[in-house]
Amino acid sequence: MDKHTELLKLLEKDCRTTPEALAAMLGREPAEVKEEIAALEKDEVILGYNAMIDWDRTGEELVTALIEVRVTPQRGDGFDRIAERVYQFEEVESMYLMSGAYDFVVTITGRTLKDVATFVSARLSTIEGVTGTATHFILKKYKEKGVSFEIQPLQEERMEFC
């Protein structure tokens, strides 16, 4: 196991944990933990810090879609050049090269279904090398990156029969 693995797992679980708390969990000195975090940021092992938001609780109307993308790899560049064209779009939240029936999966969020459809039809599908797409809309999130979203208990109406 890499010497940074324990620290990275703790930060990934909750990046707001203080260096003092991390040091206590790891049996180290806070100054040592601060230096290690700074080095990991400098080496681009730690690329950023994110808050996980349950947007459904904010009243913000958003539509999230997973888009399967099939492409023809380019000679000499394989999938990388097409991937770079796609992930440069500000709408793209995440993108992965996949094995199986399609090549990439792209996650985007828009204000409306039309926003997502316009992105797919006018921007993504028109990239040279893209041969097909399939869009799947997320209807409800249950768990993301190890965090469960609270499920509202179902309230069944109970009827009494006379």
pLDDT at position 97 is 97
Q: Average pLDDT by consecutive 10-residue portion of the chain (162 residues)?
A: 83 90 91 92 91 80 94 89 95 95 95 94 95 94 83 54 50
Choose which CATH entry (1.10.20.140, 3.40.190.10, 3.40.50.720, 3.30.70.920) describes domain 55-141. Answer: 3.30.70.920
Tell me, what's the pLDDT at 153?
Answer: 59
Task: Please give the model's pTM, rounded to 2 decimal places.
Answer: 0.76
State the pLDDT at residue 162.
47
CA distances from 161 to 20, 44, 155, 157, 158 (A): 62, 66, 19, 13, 10
